[in-house]
């Protein structure tokens, strides 16, 4: 579900540094999505990277609603498999440069879309928010965090949570840790207790998972308001408070086990009782819970459990898959019809239980969301919001590339001062 770390960043790869979804495969044939479909229906090219189990099922559920509500339109699935979205974004960039955009395309809501916005590739969707009263349907904080210069360029169809502490209850019990730690200090103490018992205190994956860990530690150490302020013009990444947060991060990293190839094997170390803790997004729930054909087939609250990452209770660090309206779309009216389904309660409730995420809307049918998703839905409606760094909300793609470079160097050097200087320089070069 998440991409592997890319040692070298090409322009195509830069477009896909963080992504949800996708398995192996080849791009859907281009050039088939325009014009008229069978029976005189107008085709609507919907470009995404949702091809894997769950996400493809959710997309199909929305497609059925779309075609039922729009009998004169036919859905063309232009999903591109592979690379967790990297292949899709590289192909998308070539289509945009050739002035042959799809009618609508998937992207992460927030700063990830800034490159498209500044290039003039996207239409402002504020008109749709006004028509559908989406500013009332979505949390005000969400609308604020996906707006750019007072305009909105995407429709979020789902919400994932980044700041989740996954843990093995048996390993904690063996180490004498009574419950999931709520603060950074409690977390460090718990890591030490697990280490004393000879288990891996904290599992990590490839390098991007370390940036993912760092964003949760920054949030837990700084608090929500100070964390969110880091991404505003003039923010002080060189402050003493950030220094403390990065020292906390370095201390926590000192308890990490050997890096695994990606997030899945790191998560599996927790589920299999080899490690106590892993900080990862809520896509890990499906991996833990799903049957062995697509997951680990583990039992929640027994083999694995969850809590907000230490210090972040009451805050939902979010990321979101969303859809856009490219300028020059061949079937603009069809694209707007698709965006209306993606924004609707019916569309989001059809998609998200299958995807393993929750709706962006506040009026979801709570009965459809159980176990972890029930907890997430409750927290989404009541928590403060903070945007993920690693997954496209808080920073642009070039800014993220610079952050990841600094984190990658830190893994080798353990030099907190150098890490902080790298983050200061990244913000100075990229903050909007």
| 404 lies in some domain | yes
pLDDT at residue 39 greater than cutoff 90 = no
Mean of pLDDT values over 372-387:
94
293 contacts 321 by C-beta, under 8 angstroms:
no
Give the ranges where 275-396 is alpha helix by DSSP (H).
Answer: 283-289, 332-343, 345-355, 372-382
| Intra-chain end-to-end CA distance of the chain, in Å | 29
Among the listed residues 198, 193, 189, the one whose alpha carbon sits nearest the alpha carbon of residue 173: 193
Quote the percentage of the chain above a pLDDT of 90: 81
| 1 lies in some domain | no
Do 140 and 207 reside in the same domain of the chain? no
CA separation, residue 377 to residues 288, 349, 356, 360, 361 (Å): 19, 12, 12, 9, 10
| 329 lies in some domain | yes
Do 276 and 362 reside in the same domain of the chain? no
Q: What is the CATH number of the domain that holds 402?
A: 3.40.190.10
Note the pLDDT tens digit of each residue in 195-224: 999 999 999 999 999 999 999 999 999 999
Mean of pLDDT values over 359-371:
95
125 contacts 325 by C-beta, under 8 angstroms:
yes
57 contacts 354 by C-beta, under 8 angstroms:
yes
Number of separate domains in the chain: 2
Residue 286 CA to residue 304 CA, distance in Å, equals 12
Do 21 and 126 reside in the same domain of the chain? yes
What pLDDT band is residue 20 in, cutting at 50, 70 and 90? very low
Note the pLDDT tens digit of each residue in 66-116: 999 999 999 999 999 864 577 888 899 999 999 999 999 999 999 999 999
Do 274 and 186 reside in the same domain of the chain? yes
Residue 161 CA to residue 281 CA, distance in Å, equals 5
What pLDDT band is residue 21 in, cutting at 50, 70 and 90? very low
| 2 lies in some domain | no
What pLDDT band is residue 4 in, cutting at 50, 70 and 90? very low
For the four alpha carbons of 203, 109, 396 and 249, in that order, the dihedral sign comes to negative
| 6 lies in some domain | no
3-state DSSP call for residue 9?
A: coil
Do 234 and 143 reside in the same domain of the chain? no
200 contacts 274 by C-beta, under 8 angstroms:
yes
Do 230 and 271 reside in the same domain of the chain? yes
Do 233 and 145 reside in the same domain of the chain? no
| 40 lies in some domain | yes
| 145 lies in some domain | yes
Residue 189 CA to residue 186 CA, distance in Å, equals 5
Domain carrying residue 104: 11-157+323-370
Do 245 and 166 reside in the same domain of the chain? yes
Instruction: Name the helix (H) or strand (E) containing 386.
Output: strand 384-387
pLDDT at residue 29 greater than cutoff 70 = no
Note the pLDDT tens digit of each residue in 305-351: 999 999 999 999 999 999 999 999 999 999 999 999 999 999 999 99
Do 147 and 217 reside in the same domain of the chain? no
3-state DSSP call for residue 241?
A: helix
Do 180 and 233 reside in the same domain of the chain? yes
**What is the chain's Cα-based Rg?**
21
What pLDDT band is residue 3 in, cutting at 50, 70 and 90? very low
pLDDT at residue 9 greater than cutoff 60 = no
Q: Pick the more confident residue, 432 or 9.
A: 432
With the CA atoms of 99, 104, 109 and 110 taken in that order, what torsion angle do they form, in degrees rounded to the nearest 10? 30
Do 190 and 144 reside in the same domain of the chain? no
Residue 164 CA to residue 284 CA, distance in Å, equals 9
List beta partners, residue 300.
Answer: 304
What pLDDT band is residue 293 in, cutting at 50, 70 and 90? confident
Note the pLDDT tens digit of each residue in 155-167: 999 999 999 999 9
| 77 lies in some domain | yes
pLDDT computed for residue 40 by the predictor: 80
Do 21 and 167 reside in the same domain of the chain? no
What pLDDT band is residue 13 in, cutting at 50, 70 and 90? very low
């Amino acid at each position: 579900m998440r991409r592997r770390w890319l040692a070298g960043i090409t322009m195509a790869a830069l477009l896909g540094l963080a992504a949800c979804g996708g398995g192996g495969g080849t791009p859907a044939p281009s050039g088939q999505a325009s014009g008229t479909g069978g029976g005189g229906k107008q085709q609507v090219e919907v470009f995404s990277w949702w091809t894997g189990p769950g996400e493809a099922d959710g997309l199909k559920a929305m497609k059925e609603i779309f075609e039922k509500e729009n009998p004169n339109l036919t859905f063309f699935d232009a999903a591109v498999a592979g690379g967790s979205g990297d292949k899709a974004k590289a192909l998308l960039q070539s289509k945009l440069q050739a002035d042959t955009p799809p009618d609508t395309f998937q992207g992460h809501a927030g700063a990830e879309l800034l490159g498209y916005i500044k290039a003039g590739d996207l239409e402002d969707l504020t008109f749709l928010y006004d028509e559908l009263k989406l500013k009332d349907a979505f949390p005000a904080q969400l609308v604020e965090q996906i707006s750019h210069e007072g305009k909105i360029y995407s429709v979020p169809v789902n919400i994932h949570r980044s700041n989740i502490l996954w843990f093995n209850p048996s390993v904690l019990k063996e180490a004498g840790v009574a419950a999931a730690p709520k603060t950074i200090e409690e977390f460090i103490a718990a890591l030490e207790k697990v280490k004393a018992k000879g288990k891996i205190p904290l599992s990590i994956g490839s390098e991007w998972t370390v940036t993912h860990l760092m964003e949760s530690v920054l949030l837990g150490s700084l608090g929500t308001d100070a964390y969110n302020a880091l991404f505003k013009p003039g923010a002080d990444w060189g402050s003493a408070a950030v220094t403390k947060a990065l020292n906390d991060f370095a201390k926590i990293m000192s308890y990490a086990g050997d890096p695994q190839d990606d997030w899945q094997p790191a998560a599996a170390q927790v589920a299999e009782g080899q490690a106590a803790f892993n900080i990862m997004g809520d896509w890990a729930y499906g991996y833990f819970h799903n049957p062995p054909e697509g997951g680990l087939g583990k039992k929640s609250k027994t083999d694995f459990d969850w809590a907000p990452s230490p210090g972040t209770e009451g805050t939902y660090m979010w990321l979101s898959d969303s859809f856009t309206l490219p300028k020059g779309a061949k079937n603009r009216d069809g694209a707007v019809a698709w965006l209306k389904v993606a924004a609707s309660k019916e569309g989001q409730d059809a998609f998200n239980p299958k995807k393993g995420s929750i709706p962006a809307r506040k009026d979801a049918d709570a009965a459809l969301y159980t176990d972890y998703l029930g907890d997430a839905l409750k927290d989404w409606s009541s928590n403060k919001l903070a945007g993920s760094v690693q997954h496209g909300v808080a920073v642009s793609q070039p800014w993220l590339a610079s952050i990841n470079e600094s984190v990658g160097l830190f893994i080798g050097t353990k030099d907190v001062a150098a890490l902080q200087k790298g983050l200061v320089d990244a913000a100075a070069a990229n903050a909007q």
